[in-house]
Chains A and B, each alone.
Chain A
């Protein structure tokens, strides 16, 4: 099976712009989670989508949003970019069965630099 893919791999934006990142999960996986990784804050959970619905949400401002499509592909959007949004954004997929822990498999990440 192909792994988790993320596009684009690298992005440079300026403050105030918005950005959309895309994630395609492993075939058959229905749950997609997003994480932000920065040197100062480490790995922080953004949100998780399952069956086109946001099931869990981390502690990020409303500028960070996401969605999931019927084919389980997910996008996250960051509006009004700030310098502090510069980070590696990681997407992870899991099968999405109900109520039990699952292994999350990660994509290669998107590196976002905000100037």
Chain B
């Protein structure tokens, strides 16, 4: 079975600062993807970034980047130059094969003006 753990229930940071959200996971699979999804107050689940496990290079999407440590089974999200619109719940998730997404419990991030 796959597990995803987010140990930071809540975080807050000043606008324009950098924040890192942590995620660890456990799987015996070799071919899997990891994701960060964002869920703002509207409750829409929005894809932030994806990392394929077979890729050594860390994924980046504009202000969002990940630190993927496969051996340590760690997958953290760094948000640079944080903006008020980044306020949301952030979920780390894992998928392999045709299987379901396994989600962590989420981190509530608040950007303070």
Contact = CB atoms under 8 A, between A and B. Distances in A.
A100 B99 contact: no
Nearest to B105: A42
Interface residues of A, number: 27
Given A108-B43, A109-B44, A56 B98 contact: yes
Nearest to B32: A101
B35 A56 contact: no
- Which of A33, A102, A106: most chain B Cβ within 10 A? A106
Contacts of B50: 103
A47 to B, nearest CB: 9
Nearest to B53: A101
Contact of B97 (A33, A99, A108): A99
B105 A100 contact: no
A109 B42 CA distance: 10
Interface string B39-57: 0001111110010100000
Given A42-B103, A88-B43, A90-B45, A103 B98 contact: no
Contacts of A111: 43
Interface in B89-110: 91, 95-103, 105-106
A42 B45 CA distance: 13
Nearest to A58: B100
Interface residue tally on B, bucketed by range: 20 to 34
Contacts of B32: 101
B91 A43 contact: yes
Contact of B98 (A42, A55, A90): A55
A64 interface: no
B47 A103 contact: yes
Contacts of B96: 101
Interface in A89-115: 90, 92, 98-109, 111
A48 B100 contact: yes
Contacts of B100: 33, 45, 48, 56, 58
